């Protein structure tokens, strides 16, 4: 109930996508939301707001850093940056996710015993 | 310390978050406007895309918190504010709870001190007491020396064995003469209990054999009061019953459950030549691993061997083994458990009452809850908050209850019967506090759950639309409220029936005639030191002179002495044989209270003479042996004959040399074994023919006895003018003796009445509150009914009928419950059956009447509803 995205995705999915996006380049919240929406072709029904609790969790676990700065559109924004721990966490999560996905795919594959 | 840093930087964090989210929305709006939307459209779209801003902020903040604790603290804060804003509601709830919790705490502290706390001995659960039991007559009585020695010689299952008997002691020699209760004990008495003295030593093994010097161990009390807690007391001498005795030790305070026992002397057992007298209680500790059952079967085997060797005295005799704890507190356990049950009922009723108040308030707060739900509060969160509020109420009630309990315990200790065992161990201690905490928490959850679950069911949309002005209250909620009232009435009826039975029983007990005239009679106990008065003629002459001196005191009408006093100061019983009726069988032996009395004993007590004569001064030691019997004895043995001139003698076939006594008079019955005892046979002998050193003196005054203390000291001076070393004890008026004898029944009756009345008040308030609330909710409906032509009396009956229906259901349930539960009272009742029909009719009737009054007040208010006002209000 508290983490509304959990209803649509599995726990940690949003964090994983955020980390992956931040790995490419540091971004502020709005840009991060737009990027995830765009790259997922709007397939994932994510409320933009749900990004913020996820970002707070990552901040608390010290996987990302945040600093106030000026965006390309000349706004005062908080820019999130991946740090070393975050990169490592991402790697770990992605491999875990791939294993899980593979398992699910095998079970779902037609003709599988 | 990362979390401390977080705690302090949180304000900034939260500020950043709000800024950031606002920035996000602004950027979106700007972009949408750039794409051609109007500003207003863009703002709406941005919010839709973003989701619930407040919730996002809350969820984001929550990441930084310890959610459960902080939610709880916030709920507490909010709850306190709500309670402060509704002082009437808060006061009503808190007082109801404080009454319930306070009563529970007070009674529990008694139960804890008397029943739950282990006895102050080493490993007390392995201690037992042993007495004799006649399997044929089902009588229990003490052991004799021979029983104890046989048992000790053949024992296998006990690691320690001792015996003790009670005794009165005259302390003389230093300071004023004093009479105290004490024990005569065998050498292992203290080591069996496993208690060390605080000073000196206790008896050593073998110090109960013939030739051992007289020694005494003092109680802490006696040491404090008579010796000023001086450490030099060890080795000092004192004179006990005329015997110089050396003090060897002092026991710790609270050593024995009875504060009356002031000292212990070593019992010297000589090899017995016959079986008797019976005066000892066995005390033993089970060997490790041995069970009570093993001990019982071993004792049965020993008793069987004794019986085979002594067929005359010991036929049908067995040993009776009782755990020590049972022996000490077994008698009061039922009463205390009944009281504990009663206060539990009171707390349940109080909880139901508070639940009802909360439900009434919940419908007022429905809109508040709906708004909070709409703002994103989860249902679990709302329930949590309601529960926090009710637990908060319970906590405040508990604190106030603790104050009530402190006051209540003080009152209990003052009013409580002085013969309640372990009275001095009753206190509010850690365990009692833990109990209070637990019941407060439990009751908070209990009455908090009902409205919390109700809130879960409420329909958010409906609540918001109706805006807390709902015309018809939710069906479910009003059903719950009605059920609660029914439960309250049923529970209080059970208590009231219990209270009614106890009251009736107590009144019956008090109405029992003690057989004497209790007005204007003063009594006291006089015990002559056996050393100085070892000869019967000395004893007889002392009492003769004393009576002569007392009879001429101003205001004294008559004065007499006797060894026992009604209603419960019985000293001696013995078997007796009636001439001509003895041979039938050994079981024809009757057991009678034996009272040795002076001529004016009967006049001073006011016992009526039925036939023949009282004793006279002519009944001397050397004159013909005579006796007076009471009506019960006379009716039993000579139902159709004149008892005067018949002969009987004390003892059975093993005492064939006892002289025959000629019956010279028949007197009215007196209760010597308590007012609640069955009719007993009494045999009186003139005191010069059966000298006894300890006597009760009874003095009847001619005018009203208004200064008993003055007469008491006058009599005391008369005693001391004869012998300054003879103590006078237990100075009481006859009325006081009667009143003291029913202390325990009075105590439990008064308490149960108080609890039943509290229950009645709470239940009455409960039904009144439900109806008053229902009337205020139904104003609209009542207005319509009246507009359509309903008469005032119709409206009156509508409301009263609703209340009385609930009352009747509650009464029906309560009568059923009482019928099942009052059997637990049966051991506490005298002359009343637990299902006494009168009580079961009168008490529910009374409750119904009280409920009717409680229903009538809101009903009257309903009839005053002005249809125009009620309808306009909509």
**For chain B, which residues make up each domain, given as ranges?**
2-65, 138-315, 334-510+743-873, 533-724
pLDDT of residue B1: 46
| CA neighbours closer than 13 Å in the CB half-sphere of residue B575 | 17
Q: Looking at CA atoms only, how far is residue B4 from chain A in angstroms? A: 13
Residue A105 has pLDDT above 70, yes or no: yes
Place of tokens 């249809």: B867
pLDDT of residue B587: 42
pLDDT of residue B361: 80
DSSP B270: P
Q: What is the pLDDT of residues A58-88, one digit of tens each?
A: 888 889 988 888 887 788 888 999 899 999 9
Residue B694 CA to chain centroid, in angstroms? 33
Rg of chain A over Cα atoms, rounded to whole angstroms, equals: 16
pLDDT of residue B458: 59
C-alpha B800/C-alpha B709 separation (Å) is: 59
A73 vs B: CB within 8 A: yes
β-bridge mates for residue B245, sequence order? B238
H runs (alpha helix) in B156-219: 189-193
Taking an 8 Å cut-off on Cβ atoms, the answer to whether B49 and A47 are in contact is yes
Taking an 8 Å cut-off on Cβ atoms, the answer to whether A52 and B20 are in contact is yes
Of B16, B60, B61, the CB nearest to A78: B16
Cβ-based contacts of A28 with chain B (< 8 Å): 23
CATH of A4-99, one of 1.10.533.10, 2.60.40.3880, 3.40.1410.10, 1.10.10.10: 1.10.10.10
Cβ-based contacts of A55 with chain B (< 8 Å): 60
| CA neighbours closer than 13 Å in the CB half-sphere of residue B764 | 18
Does the pTM of the predicted model rise above 0.90? no
A53 vs B: CB within 8 A: yes
Taking an 8 Å cut-off on Cβ atoms, the answer to whether A48 and B28 are in contact is yes
pLDDT along chain B (874 residues), means of 10: 60 79 87 88 87 82 72 82 85 90 92 85 91 82 88 92 85 76 90 92 91 92 87 88 88 75 89 77 92 93 90 82 88 88 92 86 77 77 83 92 92 79 81 90 85 65 55 64 91 93 91 88 88 85 93 92 88 79 53 89 94 92 93 91 91 75 94 86 92 90 82 90 86 90 87 91 87 82 85 88 92 94 88 92 93 89 79 64
H runs (alpha helix) in B460-561: 460-466, 475-511, 536-551
Taking an 8 Å cut-off on Cβ atoms, the answer to whether A56 and B64 are in contact is yes
C-alpha B228/C-alpha B249 separation (Å) is: 15
Q: Looking at CA atoms only, how far is residue A16 from chain B in angstroms? A: 17
Contacts of B379 (CB under 8 A, 6+ apart): B373, B455, B456
Taking an 8 Å cut-off on Cβ atoms, the answer to whether B27 and A56 are in contact is no
pLDDT of residue A1: 38
Cβ-based contacts of B56 with chain A (< 8 Å): 47, 49-50, 52-53
A42 vs B: CB within 8 A: no
């Amino acid at each position: 109930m508290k983490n509304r995205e959990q209803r649509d995705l599995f726990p940690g999915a949003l964090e994983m996508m955020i980390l992956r996006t931040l790995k490419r380049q540091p971004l502020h919240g709005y840009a991060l939301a737009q990027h995830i929406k765009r790259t997922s072709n709007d397939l994932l029904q994510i409320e933009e707001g749900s990004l913020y609790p996820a970002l707070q969790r990552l901040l608390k676990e010290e996987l990302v850093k945040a600093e106030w700065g000026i965006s390309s559109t000349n706004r005062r924004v908080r820019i999130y940056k991946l740090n070393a721990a975050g990169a490592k966490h991402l790697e770990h999560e992605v491999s875990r996710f791939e294993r899980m996905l593979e398992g699910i795919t095998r079970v779902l594959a037609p003709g599988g015993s | 310390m990362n979390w401390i840093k977080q705690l302090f930087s949180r304000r900034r964090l939260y500020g950043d978050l709000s800024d950031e989210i606002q920035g996000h929305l602004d950027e979106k709006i700007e972009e949408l406007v750039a794409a051609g939307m109007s500003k207003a459209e863009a703002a709406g779209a941005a919010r839709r895309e973003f989701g619930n801003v407040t919730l996002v902020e809350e969820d984001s903040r929550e990441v930084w918190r310890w959610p459960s604790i902080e939610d709880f603290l916030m709920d507490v804060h909010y709850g306190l504010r709500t309670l402060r804003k509704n002082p009437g509601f808060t006061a009503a709830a808190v007082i109801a709870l404080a009454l319930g919790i306070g009563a529970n705490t007070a009674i529990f502290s008694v139960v804890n001190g008397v029943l739950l706390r282990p006895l102050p001995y080493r490993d007390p659960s392995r201690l037992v007491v042993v007495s004799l039991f006649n399997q044929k007559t089902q009588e229990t009585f003490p052991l004799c020396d021979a029983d104890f020695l046989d048992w000790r010689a053949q024992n296998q299952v006990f690691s320690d064995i001792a015996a003790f008997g009670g005794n009165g002691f005259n302390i003389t020699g230093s300071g004023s003469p004093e009479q105290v209760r004490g024990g005569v004990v065998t050498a292992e008495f203290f080591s069996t209990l496993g208690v060390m003295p605080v000073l000196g030593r206790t008896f050593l093994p073998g110090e109960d054999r013939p030739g051992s010097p007289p020694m005494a161990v003092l109680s802490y009390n006696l040491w404090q009061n008579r010796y000023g807690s001086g450490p030099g007391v060890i080795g000092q001498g004192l004179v006990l019953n005329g015997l110089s005795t050396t003090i060897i030790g002092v026991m710790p305070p609270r050593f024995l459950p009875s504060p009356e026992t002031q000292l212990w002397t070593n019992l010297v057992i000589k090899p017995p030549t016959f079986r008797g007298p019976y005066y000892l209680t066995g005390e033993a500790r089970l060997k490790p691993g041995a069970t009570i059952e093993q001990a019982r079967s071993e004792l049965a085997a020993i008793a069987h061997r004794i019986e085979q060797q002594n067929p005359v005295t010991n036929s049908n005799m067995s040993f009776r083994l009782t755990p020590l704890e049972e022996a000490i507190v077994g008698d009061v356990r039922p009463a205390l458990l009944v009281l504990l049950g009663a206060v539990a009922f009171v707390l349940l009723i109080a909880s139901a009452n508070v639940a009802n108040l909360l439900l009434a308030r919940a419908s007022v707060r429905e809109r508040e809850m709906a708004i909070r739900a709409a703002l994103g509060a989860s249902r679990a969160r709302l329930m949590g908050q309601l529960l926090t509020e009710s637990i908060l109420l319970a906590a405040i009630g508990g604190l106030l209850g603790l104050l009530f309990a402190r006051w209540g315990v003080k009152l209990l200790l003052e009013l409580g019967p002085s013969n309640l065992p372990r009275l001095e161990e009753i206190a509010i201690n850690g365990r009692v506090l833990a109990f209070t905490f637990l019941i407060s928490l439990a009751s908070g959850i209990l009455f908090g759950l009902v409205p919390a679950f109700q809130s879960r069911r409420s329909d958010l949309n409906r609540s918001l639309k109706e805006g807390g002005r709902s015309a018809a209250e939710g069906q479910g909620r009003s059903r719950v409220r009605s059920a609660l009232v029914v439960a309250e009435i049923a529970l209080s009826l059970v208590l009231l029936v219990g209270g009614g039975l106890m009251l009736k029983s107590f009144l019956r007990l008090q109405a029992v005639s003690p057989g004497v005239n209790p007005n204007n009679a003063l009594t006291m106990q006089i015990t002559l030191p056996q050393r100085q008065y070892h000869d019967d003629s000395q004893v007889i002459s002392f009492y003769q002179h004393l009576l002569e001196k007392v009879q001429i005191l101003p205001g004294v009408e008559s004065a007499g002495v006797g060894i026992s006093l009604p209603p419960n100061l019985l000293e001696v019983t013995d078997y007796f044989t009636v001439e001509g009726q003895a041979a039938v069988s050994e079981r024809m032996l009757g057991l009678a209270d034996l009272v040795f009395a002076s001529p004016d004993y009967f006049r001073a007590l006011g016992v009526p003479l039925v036939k023949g004569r009282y004793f006279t001064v002519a009944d001397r030691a050397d004159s013909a042996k005579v006796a007076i019997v009471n009506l019960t004895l006379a009716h039993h043995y000579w139902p159709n004959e004149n008892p005067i001139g018949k002969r009987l003698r004390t003892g059975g076939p093993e005492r064939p040399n006892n002289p025959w006594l000629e019956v010279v008079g028949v007197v009215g019955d007196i209760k010597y074994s308590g007012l609640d005892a069955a009719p007993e046979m009494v045999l009186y002998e003139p005191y010069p023919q059966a000298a006894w050193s300890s006597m009760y003196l009874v003095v009847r005054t001619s005018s009203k006895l208004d200064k008993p203390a003055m007469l008491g000291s006058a009599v005391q001076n008369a005693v001391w003018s004869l012998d300054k070393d003879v103590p006078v004890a237990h100075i009481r008026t006859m009325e006081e003796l009667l009143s003291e004898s029913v202390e325990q029944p009075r105590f439990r009756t008064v308490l149960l009445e108080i609890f039943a009345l509290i229950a009645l008040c709470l239940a009455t308030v409960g039904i009144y509150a439900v109806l008053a609330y229902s009337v205020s909710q139904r104003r609209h409906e009542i207005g319509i009914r009246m507009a359509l032509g309903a008469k005032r009396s119709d409206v009156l009956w509508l409301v009263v009928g609703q209340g009385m229906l609930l009352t009747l259901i509650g009464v029906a349930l309560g009568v059923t419950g009482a019928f099942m539960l009052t059997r637990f009272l049966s051991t506490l009742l005298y002359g009343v059956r637990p299902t006494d029909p009168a009580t079961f009719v009168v008490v529910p009737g009374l409750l119904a009447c009280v409920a009717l009054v409680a229903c009538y007040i809101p009903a009257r208010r309903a009839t005053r509803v002005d249809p125009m006002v009620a309808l306009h209000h909509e």
